[in-house]
Structure formats: structure tokens, C-alpha cells
Amino acid sequence: MINRDKISDKTIGRLSQYRRFLNLLHENKVKNVFSYQIANSAGVTSPQVRRDVMLLGYNGNPAKGYNVEALMECLAHYLDTPGGEGVVLVGFGNLGRALISYFSKQRPNLSIVAVFDNDPALIGRVIHGVRCCSMEDFASVAQQNNVRVGILAVPADQAQLTADLMVAAGINGILNFALTTLQVPPHVYVERVDITTSVEKVVFFARKIRQERTLP
Amino acid sequence: MINRDKISDKTIGRLSQYRRFLNLLHENKVKNVFSYQIANSAGVTSPQVRRDVMLLGYNGNPAKGYNVEALMECLAHYLDTPGGEGVVLVGFGNLGRALISYFSKQRPNLSIVAVFDNDPALIGRVIHGVRCCSMEDFASVAQQNNVRVGILAVPADQAQLTADLMVAAGINGILNFALTTLQVPPHVYVERVDITTSVEKVVFFARKIRQERTLP
DNA sequence: ATGTTATTGTGAAAAAAATAACAGCGTTAA
DNA sequence: TTAACGCTGTTATTTTTTTCACAATAACAT
């Protein structure tokens, strides 16, 4: 029996990464893989991979490593929602469009059910087969499709309002690209992608490396 | 003297977030702020904030809290490159354009020096005052402008090649949006923004919350 | 059969991060 | 002037996460 209780944020992130590599292997008809190979592809250590895999309850083979298909299946069973998960996207700007094309290349388990924007000029436009709807239809579309996860790609000043709409429509997982910390009830999980912070981190550590290479 | 040595990735991320809130306060003419207010804005705890601020070497006042301007200055001194940092962006697709508009609203300390793409149809196009250049000019532009940080917003199959070009041109900090783990020399810092993984995390934890609310 | 090899699975140790706890101290108000 | 208040600065504690280390083991060659 898998214990899904005490699993951390970080572990899920890594499992998701491992899966991408496994997909690649599977496409190339590779049958087995060692922990250090997975580790290498994800930029982590091999004990880390073994430990993460242990959580899944999957057992590898000391001589052949992990069976690619079996491990993929195990990961899918662990990470994916049975029957697939529908996601809504709010914001049909450049970022929204970029996200749509990310998803169009995705596995079928995750699909964008609908895209919304409050700019009348954008409503009705189609990209990658997805049509932009008016925000007025948000609650009804989300509820009819039983959507639980929303992606927020709107300007910061509309983010909280949009998040409130999402929560009211029954969504309890939000991926937030807006440069704001959202206030949401405790039963809503928010993952934030903060591009400004990411850039500042890169700038800082890149500079730090340069300084360390120059001085000592 | 500030000790920049043993600072972690996560701390820098938080400092960057604090700064955004401080900016907001400053615009609103707020003079002082308490640790718990900063904590609240960034979704962390107040001891965490005090601890992070401690690293900067800045001291607050037990009765008034932190002086907004002084703390901002301290953060700038710590995080920013004196004279500003120029950044190059590769990839003029939807994501690239979204990033350009993110930056156009940014503080002047970070600026996009140039944007590149290898699609001839895009070269010469201008967005937010930034013109798209050919990849052929990459090395010369990057070196002439002394650029150290690059943003990678190209499809996965071109990511490694582009990263190699960046490294060859003297860049030692990369923000990678492509769905690949880059292989770079140890003196190059890579920060990855993995949208697929982020979505899968949200899906997982949203589902977990639903299950925990239904069952017990 | 059996020895060899390279890997897994996992408890134990170490490291890192977050949290708690509280002494010390400006400020304010009496 | 002084007492009360509520916050900061910092040390200690706890929790979480990662790494280490090695016994157990399946496959393969001999």
C-alpha cells in the first residue's frame, strides 16, 4: 500500500521530472534503466532517485535496474488522476498562448478544457484548437467540466480577483504566474511561478560565481 | 561586512519577494514595516523574515520595525549588480514575448539587452521596443555588451545547443524554460522553470486535498 | 553450480532548513 | 522618570531533506 501522506512538494517535482526521461527512453524502446541514469537526467543523485522510487512502492532489479514501462505505470498511478484531469487557463496574452502550446505537446492525461480572458477583442480567437471564452462563462464551464485546477496567467492587478472566482467555482489547485501572493482558503493549493524572482536568483548566483573565480 | 558565502538559493528567492512588497510600500509612502507584515506578504513566517534580514546585516528597530527605504537599499546592495545587469533572451515565440513584457515593467537594474531567434520570419520584428536579432549575431552582441545572464525560451530540441552558444559567449547564468535538463560546466548557474512539473504538482496536491477532505 | 559484478533497498548519519523561544531594547504613555 | 508594551536579533530546538554506506540480490560468465 502506497503511503501518499508524507510526501513532499519537492519529491513530487522530482518524480515528474523522472517521468519525462522515462518517456524519452520508452519512445526509444529502452527497456531498463539504472537509478544513476535517471539521476543524471534530472540533475540529482542516484540515492535520491532510489529513495524517491521507494516511496512509490516499486521495486527494481539489482542487475537490470528499473523496468521502464513498469516504473512509468507506477508513476502514472501515483501522480495522475484516473480518467485525466481537466485544467482551465485564464489569460490569453502571450503567456497564456505559450502555455497552450506547452500543453498541446503534453500527454493526454492533462488537457486544457477552456481558456478565458476578459478582453472582448480576444474572445472567440482560437489557438492550437482552443478557443478563448469570456470570463462570464467561467463558473459554468468550470463546474460543468468538473475542473479542479486552474492556471492564472493574468496581470498582477487582476490576479486576486480571478483567483477568487476560481475558488468560488470549486477549483482547489492554482498555478499562479502573476507577480502577486494570492490569498486563498487553506484547502486550495497554490504553486507560484515567479519569473522576476527566478531572474534575480540567476543574476545573483551568476555574479557570485564570477566573483569567486576572480578573487581567490 | 556581509557574508555572501553561505547563502542559499531559497533565501535569495525570499529576499527577492520581500523586495517586491517593499517596493509597493514605498510607492504608497509607507515608512516602516514589521517582520510579520513582510512575512504575510510573502507567505512565510516572521522569524524567517527576521532571519533573512539578519543575513543582510541590516538592523531594524524594536519599536518601529524596519525602515522601508533603508531595507530596500540594503537589499539592492545585496542582490543587484552595481551599474545594472544586462540580460539576453533567446526565443521570440509566445513565451519570449511574454517575458519581454514582464521585463518592460521591471526596475531599471535589470534590462533585456537583446532578443534572438533563429526563425528568419521573426528577425527584425519589434516588441516593447526590443528588436529580434539573428542568432548569428549572438556571440558578438553578448560579448560587446558584457552580458552574463541569458534566458532560454526555445523549444526543447534546441535548448542544449543554445545553452552551449551562451556558455561559449561568456554567459554564466541561465534561466531555462525549455523542458530539458541542460548540461553545462560547473561555473554556470542554471535555474530551471519547469512548467510541466509545476502543473503536475498542482494536480497532485489539489487531488490530495480533495481526497483528504472527502475521506476522514 | 558457483563465483563475480554492479546494482538495488534502506537504516543510519549528516546537512540544511524552518520554527520556537526569549532576552534586550526602543518607543510611548502615564 | 519610569513602567509597560511589542518588536527585533539571535540562539537553541526541531523538523525535514539529503547523503552515505553497505547488506542483500539478480544476472551472467565460467
Closest-CA distance, A182 to chain B, in angstroms, reads 9
A6/B contact by beta carbon, under 8 A: no
Region B150-178 average pLDDT:
98
Identify whether the C-beta of residue A189 lies closer than 8 Å to the C-beta of residue B205. yes
d(CA B19, CA B92): 29
Separation of alpha carbons B214 and B21, rounded Å? 37
More confident residue, A5 or B59: B59
Q: If you measure CA to C1', which residue is closest to nucleotide C20?
A: B47
The CA–CA distances, whole Å, from B179 to A46, B124, B157, B208 equal 21, 27, 9, 26
Place of cell 559567449: B169
Proportion of chain B above pLDDT 70, given as a percent = 96
Q: Which helix (H) or strand (E) holds B88?
A: strand B85-90
Evaluate whether B87 touches B110 at the Cβ level (below 8 Å).
yes
Q: Strand C: which nucleotides have any atom within 7 A of a protein Cβ? A: 5-11, 16-21, 24-28
What is residue A105's predicted lDDT score, i.e. its pLDDT? 79
Helix, strand, coil percent content, chain B, rounded in steps of 5:
50, 20, 35
In B69-108, the residues whose Cβ lies within 8 Å of chain A are 79-81, 85, 87, 93-95, 97-99, 101-102, 106
B98 Cα to chain A: minimum distance (Å): 5
Distance A16 CA to C11 C1' (A): 26
**Mean pLDDT for back-to-back runs of 10 residues, chain A (216 residues):** 71 98 97 98 98 96 97 97 96 96 83 96 93 96 97 97 98 97 95 96 96 80
User: Predicted confidence band at B59 (pLDDT cuts at 50, 70, 90)?
Assistant: very high
Mean pLDDT of chain B: 94
- What is the CA A67 to C1' D25 distance in angstroms? 16
Q: Is the CB of B3 under 7 A from strand D?
A: no
Judge whether B89 and B143 are in contact, CB under 8 Å.
no
Distance B113 CA to D13 C1' (A): 48
Fold classification of A9-77 is Arc Repressor Mutant, subunit A (1.10.10)
pLDDT at A216: 66
Where in chain B are the domains?
9-77, 85-196
pLDDT of residue A7: 87
Q: Looking at residue A1, what is its pLDDT?
A: 41
CATH assignment of B85-196, among 3.40.640.10, 3.30.70.20, 3.40.50.1100, 3.40.50.720: 3.40.50.720
Whether B173 and chain A come into contact, CB under 8 Å, resolves to yes
Residue pair B162/B133 in contact (Cβ under 8 Å)? The answer is no
> What would the mean pLDDT of B35-42 be, rounded to a whole number?
97
Least confident piece of the model among A9-18, B25-34, B127-136: B127-136
| CA–C1' gap, B119 and C3, in angstroms | 60
Task: Select the more confidently predicted residue: A159 or B215.
Answer: A159
Nucleotide closest to A48 measured between CA and C1': D18
Spatial distance from the CA of B190 to the C1' of C9 (Å): 32
**pLDDT of amino acid B97:** 96
Per CB-CB distance under 8 Å, the chain B contacts of A42 are 181
Cα–Cα distance measured from residue A53 to residue B131, given in angstroms and rounded to the nearest whole number = 46
Helical H segments across chain A, by residue range: 9-27, 35-42, 46-56, 68-79, 94-104, 138-144, 156-168, 195-214
The mean pLDDT value for B163-191 works out to 97
Phi, psi of B75 (to 5 degrees): -65, -45
Sequence-separated (6 or more) residues with CB below 8 Å from residue A123: A117, A132, A133, A134
Query: Which contiguous run of DSSP H or E holds residue B214?
Result: helix B195-214
pLDDT at A55: 95
Within 8 A of A201 by CB-CB distance, chain B residues are 9, 12-13, 16, 191
Contact A100, A82 (CB under 8 A): no
Residue numbers in B 29-48, CB below 7 Å of strand D? 34-36, 46-47
Residue-wise over A196-209: b if at least 16 C-beta within 10 A, else e? bbbbbbbbbbbbbb
- pLDDT the model gives residue B1: 41
Contact A102 B204 (CB under 8 A): no
Q: How far apart are CA A15 and CA A80, in angstroms?
A: 12
| pLDDT at res. A213 | 84
What are the pLDDT digits (tens) for B63-116? Answer: 999 999 999 999 999 999 999 999 999 999 999 999 999 888 767 799 999 999
